[in-house]
Structure 1
Amino acid sequence: MTRMILRRAALALLALLPSTAFARQNLTRGLAIQGYDPVAYFTENRARRGRYEISTRWNGATWRFATAEHRRLFLEDPARYAPAYGGFCAYAVSEGYTATVDPTAFTIVDGRLYLNYSHGVQARWRENRDERIRRADGNWPGLSR
């Protein structure tokens, strides 16, 4: 009886955790976005490599930053700067699978960072961007586990 109550309590606690706590991430040697600075996409509108000595751990990954200020901003609201779909290619997720990315092939739409496999794939993704985002948002819950 006690065991069943404990198990139910544990399941209830798990249900309260945000879904991103268990979502798959596109990691390269444990690095998010292949070591690129997630904040620079928003503040500088460019892909900028982060520095080894300016990093933090969040959501099971190491995140690197170009400046200490970028790390500070990230720590205030990591979900704001983290890429959509765990950093996987937005086009691929819209098609129902995952693929790695070129961190320089990025787009910010309505405050969300989207990465793509290549600049060529990014061009195709942008042709029907809103529909691609809608489809990817629908596909991601099934792909993120």
Structure 2
Amino acid sequence: MKAVFARRTLLAAMISMLAALAVMPNLAHAYDEKSTSALNVDAHNVAVKGHDVVAYFTAGSPTAGKAEFTAKHEGAVYHFSSAANRDAFKANPTKYAPQFGGFCAMGVALDKKLDGDPSAWKIVDDKLYLNVNKDVQKKWVEDIPGNLAKAGSAWPLIKSKAPKDL
């Protein structure tokens, strides 16, 4: 009887632990609020949460990259869905790398460094911009030229500051 109770208790504890892990944020993809880097990267220096930045331009949608297709640019590691996309990035990284280091474009317009969400994106004048979420993106698109002007002025002043200090 004790063995059955012990197995059930262990099984319940394991299920609880798995459930807790499922709802916790993926810390490998979390940005560091204490970092003074101008690049929004995770703990492994991976940019855009591992999404293929070339695919935004070619496929027109967020596409998960693969660790087997990577390239480095300005200290960030970018993942790509194919060797062809990796090679296109290597040929012209400034064309494909997200603006404002991958931080939220609306956040930068408001003097903040907010995390960029790969699913809240827009290409404007052949440049990739991310927002912290789709609700913020709706506000950003109401005045893209005005918000880009504000962000362009703010970025040089905040890019070397930690998000928590803004």
TM class by shorter-chain length?
0.7 to 0.9
| 1:34 equivalenced with 2:49 (yes/no) | yes
- Residue 28 of structure 2 is matched in structure 1 by none
Gaps of 5+ in 2: 1-36, 161-166
Task: Give the ranges of 4+ consecutive aligned residues of structure 1 lying more than 6 Å apart after TM superposition.
Answer: none
| 1:93 equivalenced with 2:112 (yes/no) | no
- Residue 70 of structure 1 is matched in structure 2 by 85
Gaps of 5+ in 1: 1-22
- Residue 125 of structure 2 is matched in structure 1 by 110
Q: Which amino acid aligns with 2:141?
A: R
Give the deviation of 1:110 after TM superposition.
0.3
Q: 1-side partners of 2:158 and 2:48: how far apart?
A: 18
TM-score, length-normalised on structure 2? 0.72
User: Going by fraction, where is strand more abundant, 1 or 2?
Assistant: 1
Task: Give the structure with higher Rg (CA).
Answer: 2
Paired residues, number: 124
Match of 1:133 among 138, 143, 148: 148
Q: 2-side partners of 1:120 and 1:132: how far apart?
A: 15
Give the deviation of 1:129 after TM superposition.
1.1
Q: Considering only aligned residues, what root-mean-square deviation do their CA atoms show, in Å?
A: 1.3
- Residue 136 of structure 2 is matched in structure 1 by 121
Give the deviation of 1:144 after TM superposition.
1.5
